[in-house]
Amino acid sequence: MADKIKVAFFDAKEYDINSFKLANADEKYDVQFYETRLSEETCRLAEGCDVVCVFVNDDINKAVIDRLVKTGIRLIALRCAGYNNVDIEYAYGKIHVVRVPAYSPYAVAEHAMALLLTSIRRIHKAYIRTRDFNFSLSGLVGFDLHGKTVGVVGTGKIGRIFIDICRGFGMNVIAYDKFPAKDSGIEYVELEELFARSDIISLHCPLTDENRHMVNAESIAKMKKGVVLINTSRGALIDSEALIDGIKQRKVGAACLDVYEEESNVFFHDYSGHIVDDDILTRLISMPNVIVSSHQAFLTAEALKNIADTTFENIEDFFRDGFVKNEICYNCNKVADCAQKHDGKCF
């Protein structure tokens, strides 16, 4: 490590640059920040670097992986937990991939509750009214969370913290997880039962081929009339067209979305002076019982610091020790009897 490790940082936003510069105050790493997302066309910007640092909307497909390998990149450092935007199977054996598995589960869980409270108590509508000195309460009737049943899909760190928050409100909690947390005191049920019993459903699971469009026309039909849906995980967990139909049919009472399945072309950018071509997103935003925030659930000072610190730790561990605890291994994910002892690189 005599020479500085060179990092090409893609899809850089002001908050990213500030937090990573602070974490790299000693200038241990040579980081080049680029506003553009990583793609086959922009791979050339990483020439001469050792690492590319990417986020959720960078598409690391086969063509990009081939270009990165050809360029000499040795490591893809995701500054996020999810990795559904990376072709992990194709990357295996060619280039190593690491991630930040948890940066602030509290930030995401708290944002999910903030969306819920804003929606059911009409806080966003009240704010707009009072800014115009309209103090009427007409149309602002909400409902108590106390005593309501919330169904939590996914009980990792974020899901369990959200459960704790809900319990603090006096809510009844049921949950579904393919791998239930042992001795957690959580009432686990099958997914169909969760859909049928819940007044509120909050998604806190990663996106996989198996659960893509988990919330669809069929599952919405099984839900209670007036159900509130919350998604702070991955947009493609919900079939957006089916959601719109559910809202129009008055089956879905409200939707609180921090993510959207086609967000990569819209989120994190200012289109306030433009016409947005995405008709589905435009329809969702126009609905009075839908709240959309632009993938900001993670965005706290604590989370940004943890993301930057962990990303640099991953990079240093990879080049210094050859082992990173946060490496994503396709083999481990797919093979039950994987021989990897996790005391070195995954290949």
Q: Which residues are catalytic?
A: 234, 263, 295
Phi-psi domain of 338 (left: phi exceeds 0; alpha: psi -120 through 50; beta: other): beta
Contact 295, 31 (CB under 8 A): no
Helices (H), the chain: 14-23, 62-71, 88-91, 105-120, 123-131, 157-168, 191-197, 217-222, 240-248, 279-286, 301-320, 330-334
> How many CB atoms lie under 10 A from the CB of residue 197?
16
Residue 338: φ, ψ to 5°: -55, 135
Q: How far are the Cα atoms of 11, 66, 177, 232, 329 from residue 154, in angstroms, in the given order?
A: 28, 34, 5, 12, 21
CA-wise closest residue to 27 among 332, 323, 312, 317 = 312
Q: Which of 25, 100, 37 is nearest to 8 (CA)?
A: 37
Cβ pair 11, 38 in contact under 8 A: yes
Q: Which two tokens stand for residue 216?
A: 């669809």
Cα 106 to Cα 93: distance, rounded to the nearest angstrom: 35
